[in-house]
Each structure stands twice: as structure tokens, then as C-alpha cells.
């Protein structure tokens, strides 16, 4: 156990029993506990294997390379259509966790083996995402912006394209693009 993670298990009153059981399961697989993105993260040789996170309706294990795992029990879920690699296993009751303890450990051990084997998830290329018209116009007019955007990591590029494209109205897309141009020019991602 990492004492720096204790606060997470004390603050989440709604799911406290469940996430404490999840912690025990992850640690029982010999994983190292750390904090990432404000959540308990469990690693093997500094590689992220699984994360515990809570939502209003459920708590979940998030297996970082879950898409590469076998799923004989049909419990892995894609959180949203845009998540390419990670898969969730959701819970709403501590009894579910206790009943599935051995199954969950088997999934984690398989995830460790995926990491040991050096397997990588083939991610969709940024070029596969549509560029909102409002952003494309700005890229065409501003070569420095285009160069800065192309220099960003693929993940940062996708985050911007997804965020800009989510807005339903052109006016909103334009405002989002305008707001984030300075960050793009500084080489920063959406959340940096």
C-alpha cells in the first residue's frame, strides 16, 4: 500500500467498501500502488496496468490495455466510443467484487503478461479524425499554428480535435479554437 493513496479510499464514501476491496485485489496481484490523475493506479515495472476510479453510478477497474485481453466472462466495457485501448470492469456492489475476485485477478495477471510481452495497442492515427472546419480554416491561415499543432503528440492532437468537434454550433467551435490557439502555439495539450 502506498500511504499517499489512502486519502482516496477515505474520501469516496459512496463506494468506500467497493474500492477498498478493489485495492486489496490489485495489491494481491503484486502490483505497485501509485497515484495517477488523482486516482489509485497499479503498476508492473513502472507500466500502468489498472486504475481504480469512481463515478456517480458505479466504480470501476480500468485496464489500460484492456482491448488486448481475452474476455471469456464478457465483463470488459469500452467506456466511450472514443476510448481505443482501455477497458473498464464496473461494479455497483461489494458482493460482486468478492464473488468475482478470482476472475478479476486472472484479468490482471493477463494484463501483466501483456506488458511483459511488450504488446502495444495499435491506435487510430490522428489523420483518421475529422478536423472541424473552423479549426482547419485557422490552420490554413496560420502556418505557425499548423506547425505547432503538427508538433504535438498524437494524443494531444486527438484531444483538441475531439474537443473542438464536440461543439454542436459553429460559433462554439470557433470560440473553443480561439481560446486554445495560445496553448497549441506553446506546445501544450488541452489539459496542460
What distance in Å separates the CA atoms of residue 112 and residue 117, rounded to the nearest whole number?
9
**What band does 168 get if pLDDT is binned at 50, 70 and 90?**
very high
Q: What's the pLDDT score for residue 28?
A: 96
**What band does 123 get if pLDDT is binned at 50, 70 and 90?**
confident
Query: Which residues, at least 6 apart from 174, have a Cβ–Cβ distance to it below 8 Å?
Result: 134
Q: What's the pLDDT score for residue 181?
A: 96
**Three-state DSSP class for residue 190:** coil
- Does residue 173 register a pLDDT over 90? yes
Contact 28, 105 (CB under 8 A): yes
Burial class of 146 by CB neighbour count within 10 A (0 to 12, 13 to 18, 19+)? middle
DSSP structure string for 116-142: HTT----PPPGGGSPPPHHHHHHHHH-
DSSP single-letter state for residue 77 = B
- Does residue 83 register a pLDDT over 90? no
**What band does 2 get if pLDDT is binned at 50, 70 and 90?**
confident
What distance in Å separates the CA atoms of residue 111 and residue 123, rounded to the nearest whole number?
18
Strand partners, 89: 61
Contact 89, 102 (CB under 8 A): no
Go through the domains of the chain in sequence order and give each one's CATH number.
3-116 (3.90.1150.200), 126-185 (no CATH)
What distance in Å separates the CA atoms of residue 111 and residue 117, rounded to the nearest whole number?
10
- 135 half-sphere exposure, CB direction, 13 A CA radius: 24
Q: What's the pLDDT score for residue 47?
A: 96
Q: What's the pLDDT score for residue 98?
A: 95
Amino acid at each position: 500500500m502506498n500511504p499517499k493513496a489512502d486519502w482516496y479510499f477515505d474520501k469516496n464514501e459512496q463506494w468506500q467498501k467497493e474500492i477498498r476491496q478493489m485495492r486489496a485485489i490489485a495489491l494481491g496481484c503484486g502490483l505497485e500502488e501509485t497515484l495517477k490523475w488523482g486516482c489509485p493506479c497499479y503498476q508492473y515495472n513502472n507500466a500502468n496496468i489498472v486504475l481504480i476510479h469512481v463515478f456517480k453510478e458505479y466504480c470501476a477497474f480500468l485496464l489500460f490495455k484492456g482491448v488486448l485481453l481475452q474476455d471469456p466472462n464478457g465483463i470488459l466495457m469500452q467506456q466511450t466510443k472514443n476510448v481505443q485501448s482501455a477497458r473498464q470492469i464496473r461494479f455497483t456492489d461489494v458482493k460482486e467484487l468478492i464473488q468475482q475476485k478470482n476472475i478479476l485477478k486472472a484479468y490482471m495477471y493477463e494484463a501483466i503478461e501483456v506488458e511483459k510481452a511488450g504488446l502495444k495497442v495499435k491506435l487510430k492515427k490522428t489523420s483518421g479524425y475529422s478536423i472541424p472546419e473552423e479549426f482547419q480554416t485557422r490552420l490554413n491561415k496560420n502556418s505557425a499554428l499548423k506547425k505547432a499543432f503538427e508538433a504535438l503528440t498524437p494524443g494531444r492532437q486527438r484531444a483538441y480535435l475531439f474537443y473542438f468537434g464536440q461543439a454542436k454550433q459553429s460559433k462554439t467551435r470557433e470560440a473553443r479554437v480561439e481560446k486554445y490557439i495560445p496553448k497549441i502555439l506553446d506546445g501544450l495539450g488541452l489539459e496542460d
